[in-house]
Structure 1
Amino acid sequence: MLKFLCIKVDVRIIAATHRDLPTLIAEGRFREDLYYRLAQFPIELPPLRQRVGDIEILARHFSDKACQHSQRDPVQWSRAAVTALSGYAFPGNVRQLKGFVERAVLLCEDGELKPEHFPIPANPISNPTCLSLRERIEQFERDVLLECLRDCNGNRSRAARTLGVSRRTLLYRLAHLKIGAAHGRPD
């Protein structure tokens, strides 16, 4: 005899994407109801190339873990190795950094990580300050909107008039760029 047992569970889901989900919803390529279920508490984490200061911290963490895993003494970091990593854009993001560091720990025989231990191209395609066109445009737009909101003391209606756009357009752009209510006040 087959019996069924119902068990209540409390589930939290963490989902990540690099896609613009509101645009995909508008195009009918992502379910709107699913988006609102997933977007209860959004966290925006910029790519590693925009967080250059995190590279050394993460790299040291990954090297410590790799040394523990391989049961060896912790390695030291040469300044040149840190500089080399910080000058690379990491298109593969944190996973790529982790892979680079794990490989370097395996190759390191004298206890000090040096640039030659890392598979960084001699002429990196981009550097950490080199953003894509879309990222540059969004950063410029963000700066303009924040400056205008500051000049208008957070009054969004006045900011929209100053910028020559409708209030609705301004609110849409603020939401798209994730500029929250802390940068404005109710009109």
Structure 2
Amino acid sequence: MIRARQDLYVAIFLLMFCSIMIWASYDIRDLGYPGLKPETWPRFLLILLSGLSALYLIKSVKALKIEKVSSEGAVSHIGFWSKYQNAVWCFALFFLFLLSLDYIGMLLGGMLFVFALLTVLGEFTKKNIILHLIVSVISVGIMWLIFTYSLRVHLPAGEIFAVWQV
């Protein structure tokens, strides 16, 4: 019952947050650059997040109705590490990624971050490591190409690749 209530509160908070941010997106100044208006992507993402939050709210309301309180009402005790292990790994690896961004750049750093995250969170077998390597190279490579050449975003090159940007 506690979990369903927490989900309900989080869903309501997310919907309120999205509403405020959508309202605030109307204050984004248009600087007159050609192409999409500056508020287009924030609004698109906020509307998408609002839709997902609404689905989360519906799911949590249904779970609140279905879930029954156990007769003992006891909550099982799980250790901090076993309960939050994946989240701690994600934050730790992301922190290392941010620290290394100036030195190895977005392309190589992103590939290493995705590979490390997949390897830590997934199974540690030879087949999966090869799959993690392929997924990290392709996904980060495609994302880097899109941001660099299609959207003209200047991503950090790092000191390793700075020689090619003369």
TM range (shorter): under 0.3
Structure with higher helix content: 2
TM-score (norm 2): 0.27
Q: Which has the higher contact order (CA 8 A, sep 6+)?
A: 2
| TM-score of the superposed pair, with normalisation by structure 1 | 0.25
Which structure has the bigger radius of gyration? 1
